[in-house]
Amino acid sequence: MTEPAAKTLLIAPDRLFGWCRQLLMAAGVPTGDAEEIARHLLFADLRGVSTHGTSRLKIYLTRMAAGLVDPNPQIRVLRETPVSAWLDGGNGFGQVVARRATDLAIEKARAAGVAVVGVKNSTHCGCMAYYTMRMAEAGLIGMAATNAPAVMPPYGGKEAFFGTNPFSVAAPAGDGQIFVFDMATSQVSRGKIIEAAREGRPIPEGWATDKDGHPTTDAKAALEGFLLPLGGPKGYLLAFMVELFSGILTGARIGPDLPRMYESMGEPQQVGHFFWAFRPDLFLPMEEFTQRMAQTMERVRNVAPAPGFERVLAPGDLELAKEAKNRSQGIPIPPGMYREFCELASRYGVPFPVAPTTPEVIAHADQQGETGSQER
C-alpha cells in the first residue's frame, strides 16, 4: 500500500470518478448503481462539498459490509397517483433511491404540472442540490429534503432531537443558469465537524457544544455533543419543517429514532426523503419565467458590496466557481482522507490512482482553499 501523503493532493476528476466506481463495484455494488453513486460523490467534490463527496466512501462501504445497506435494494412504489408517489427505498444506497424518486417526480410533473414523491426506508443520500438541479435541468422548479439522525436540540432544549435536516431548492434561470441553494437547518453540517476531527483541525466558535452544552472549538468534543440550530429558533423551525415532510409524512423514522451513521452499527437507518417538482408554466410562459429569473439574479449580483466583500453572489455562484477551479486544478484530497483511500484501495484491491511522488501532487491545502457543505 502507498504511504500516506503528508500534504493535500490534487487528482483529476475523471480519475477520481473511475477509482470510486471501480471501488464500489469491487465491494459488490452493481455496475449501474456504482456509477450513479460515484457520479453523485464527484458532483459534491467538484462543487466544494467535500463532506458529502468521496470522503463518505469508507462509512458507506463499512455499513454495507455490516449488512446495514442493501447493494441490491427492492425499491417499491407503495402508493401512487398521477401527481404523487410513496416509495420504500429497500434500505438501498440513498443516492440510488433518491435518484429514482427524483426521476419519478420529474416524469409526473412534466405530465401533470406538479408532483410530490416521498420516500421511507432509505439511507444517507448525499447532496440535495444534486436532485434539485436535475429537476431544474428538466425545466422544473424543484425542492428536495431529507431528515437525519438527531444531533441538534430544539431551540431552548438540551437534548438532541433533530438532524441537520437539509433542504434544497433549484430553478432554471435562463442562459444555462440554475438558481440553486442547498442548506442545513443547523449552523453547519455534521460532516464538516467529522472532516475537522479527521484532519485534526479546530472548529469555529458557534458551530457546536460539547456533551454538557458548553460551546466548544474541539471537533472531537463537538462530535460527542450537539450542533446548534441556524439562526436560533428559525433553524429549529426549519428543521421541524423538514422533519414534517421527510420523516413524519413519509412514515420514516424521525430524528431521535434514526441510528447515527458513524456510531450506530447495529441496525439500518431508515431515513426519509421528500421531493417536490412543478412546471413554471403553470403560472408564466417558460421563456418569460426564465428571463425574469436571469434578470433578477443579475440585479442581485450588481448590488453594491458591503465593506469586507468583493462582490455579491447569486445562489449557486460560489459552487459554480469552485467546480470550475476543481475541474481545472484537480480535486483536493487531504492527508486524513488519503489515508482512508489507501486503506480502501488495499481492502478491495483497487489501487488509488495518485501517489505522493507523482507530478499530480501540485498543491497544498492552503493553496486550494476551504471546501465545505451545508448539509448533514
Calculate ∠ Cα 124-151-245, nearest 5°. 55
Query: How many whole angstroms separate alpha carbon 90 and alpha carbon 73?
Result: 5
Report d(CA 263, CA 247) in Å as an integer. 21
Cell of 109: 410533473
CA distance readout (Å), 217 to 165, 249, 257: 22, 36, 28
Whole-angstrom Cα Rg for the chain: 20
What letter would DSSP give residue 236?
Answer: H
- C-alpha–C-alpha distance, residues 128 and 375, integer Å: 8
Q: How far apart are CA 268 and CA 261, in angstroms?
A: 9
51-54: list long-range contacts, CB under 8 Å, 24+ apart: 51/189, 51/191, 51/192, 51/194, 51/195, 51/372, 51/373, 51/375, 52/126, 52/127, 52/189, 52/191, 52/373, 52/375, 53/331, 54/16, 54/20, 54/337, 54/341
CA distances (Å), origin 25, targets 50, 100, 126: 22, 20, 19
CA-based end-to-end distance of the chain: 32
All residues at 6 or more sequence positions from 132 whose CB lies less than 8 Å from its CB, including other chains: 142, 143, 144, 168, 169, 170, 180, 182
SS3 296: helix
- Catalytic status, residue 124: yes
Q: Which residue of the set 40, 52, 124, 273 is catalytic?
A: 124
Residues known to be catalytic: 124
